Chains A and B, each alone.
Chain A
Amino acid sequence: MAEDDDEIILSELSDDELTAQMMDDLYDGLKEEIEEATHILLERGWTPYDILTKALVAGMTIVGADFRDGILFVPEVLLAANAMKGGMAILKPLLVETGAPRMGKMVIGTVKGDIHDIGKNLVAMMMEGAGFEIVDLGINNPVEKYLETAAAEGADIIGMSALLTTTMPYMKVVIDTMKEQGIRDDYIVLVGGAPLNEEFGRAIGADAYCRDAAVAVETAKDFIARKHNQMTA
């Protein structure tokens, strides 16, 4: 996307130019540049939350859209995510200090029998960027792990991911166990992964199937808003 980057001196750019440049650099997976620009914006008095949302999340949303449209592929998305992680590592401790809107808490993990976590990690990162607190269970999670952690953490959302057609049915095991225990409606259940689709999400009783990380964020926000509305009604 960006050309002749080596001639650009980030610190000499205006705020608008710099955030635009950060989106380019995210797109190109340039981690060091993202880290440098994050520091520059902090020095200029930007709040960590503004840097996160207006530069990093905004940039990553473009990456996500181009991935969905077949313009970018997994390697490019991973490089972009890695660059965003660099910026987030700087901002995360500051966000805790300065405060940022808290959207809700999500327990997320790849289901039992499955070790694929690229998509799950992207969702976790974008959710975190949108203000959700994330408890990442990692890979190969049995039903107990999801439910015990969700209860212990007081989570709002349980997120499940699977890449394999052989492991995606395990999501139904988790949801059925929730029903048996009478706790299904205590949580918003979101599912995702390459072989899934909306029909599958409905069939297993999830609240929603999320096609990609951006959709996961919007869906989670929507469900959380509805939950709050119900509580205040």
Chain B
Amino acid sequence: MTRPPDLLDIADATLTEAGLEPRGTGRLLLIACGALAREILDLKRLNGWDHIDLTCLPAKLHLYPEKITEAVSAAVTKHRAQYDRIFVVYADCGTGGQLWDKCKELGVEMIEGPHCYSFFEGNARFAETAETEITAFYLTDFLVRQFDAFVWRPMGFDRHPELIGMMFGNYERLIYQAQTDDPALDQAARAAAERLGLAYERRFTGYGDLAHALTRFAKTPGNPA
């Protein structure tokens, strides 16, 4: 899968820190995690979903999962008057079911699954392998690109490498769930595994259940496409 140039123009650092504003076009809105922006825009382009707009919250919210539910709720409230329907592209993401309950209360749908590692791999398959992979640490394309911003620096490994053993001592393997075929990302993910002292595995997932969920939303009766 090669990416169109416009997607590459979105800086990962911007998606991490600030998110993405909607363009204001389309009747349906996706409210997503910044870590999924490129994948969603790619699916939008591939499927010609011009009736769907996208806004992203800063991906760094994942460092404080307790803030996700409130942030999503605020975004739904802010944008709902401008769109016919809204779909939330966050999994549970460590909110302990609170995001699911909030979306229900707000009358909006959200993607199923405990986190993006699960829906990229496919929730059913991920659930099957979960027991045998409890010592695995997962990275997606976005997290490989943002490894320093999401793992290395927030965990303090740049200042205190002795913390690596304390935080990753129980992990054995880093699994890079590749959404795209990109040798540079493969190399970066392998390097991340080495820095953490973990064995490395690359596993191509593509967009997994993300593609299915967005396709369903795009084609829901009553929706324009």
Contact residues of A with B, CB < 8 Å?
A: 29, 73-76, 78-79, 82, 113-118, 139-140, 164-166, 168, 194-197, 200
Residues in chain B near residue A196, CB distance under 8 A: 96
| A interface footprint on B167-185 (CB within 8 Å = 1, 0 otherwise) | 1001100000000000000
Q: How far is the CA of A113 from the CA of B154 in the complex (A)?
A: 25
Verify B163–A200 contact, CB threshold 8 A. no
Q: How far is the CA of A75 from the CA of B135 in the complex (A)?
A: 21
Q: List 8 A-B contacts (CB under 8 A).
A: A75-B154, A75-B163, A79-B156, A79-B163, A115-B170, A118-B166, A165-B96, A168-B96
Given contacts A115-B171, A166-B114, contact A195 B65 (CB under 8 A): yes
Partner among A76, A78, A139 whose Cβ is within 8 Å of the Cβ of B166: A78
Q: How far is the CA of A29 from the CA of B156 in the complex (A)?
A: 13
Q: Is the contact region of chain B dominated by helix, strand, or loop, or is it mixed?
A: loop
- CB closest chain-B residue, reference A138: B170
Verify B130–A166 contact, CB threshold 8 A. yes
**Count of chain B residues with a beta carbon within 8 Å of a chain A beta carbon:** 23
Q: Is the contact region of chain A dominated by helix, strand, or loop, or is it mixed?
A: loop
Residues in chain A near residue B170, CB distance under 8 A: 115-117, 139
Given contacts A140-B134, A165-B114, contact A82 B166 (CB under 8 A): yes
Verify B134–A118 contact, CB threshold 8 A. no
> Separation in Å of the B201 CB from the closest CB of chain A?
17
B197 located at the interface, meaning its Cβ lies under 8 Å from any Cβ of chain A in the complex: no
> Separation in Å of the A77 CB from the closest CB of chain B?
10
B131 located at the interface, meaning its Cβ lies under 8 Å from any Cβ of chain A in the complex: yes
B97 located at the interface, meaning its Cβ lies under 8 Å from any Cβ of chain A in the complex: yes
Residues in chain B near residue A164, CB distance under 8 A: 114
- CB closest chain-A residue, reference B171: A115
Q: How far is the CA of A200 from the CA of B170 in the complex (A)?
A: 26
Q: How far is the CA of A29 from the CA of B162 in the complex (A)?
A: 12
Residues in chain A near residue B131, CB distance under 8 A: 113
Verify A79–B114 contact, CB threshold 8 A. no
| Seed contacts A74-B156, A74-B167; 11 additional CB < 8 Å A-B pairs | A73-B156, A75-B160, A76-B156, A82-B166, A114-B134, A139-B170, A165-B97, A165-B114, A195-B95, A197-B96, A197-B98
Verify A165–B92 contact, CB threshold 8 A. yes
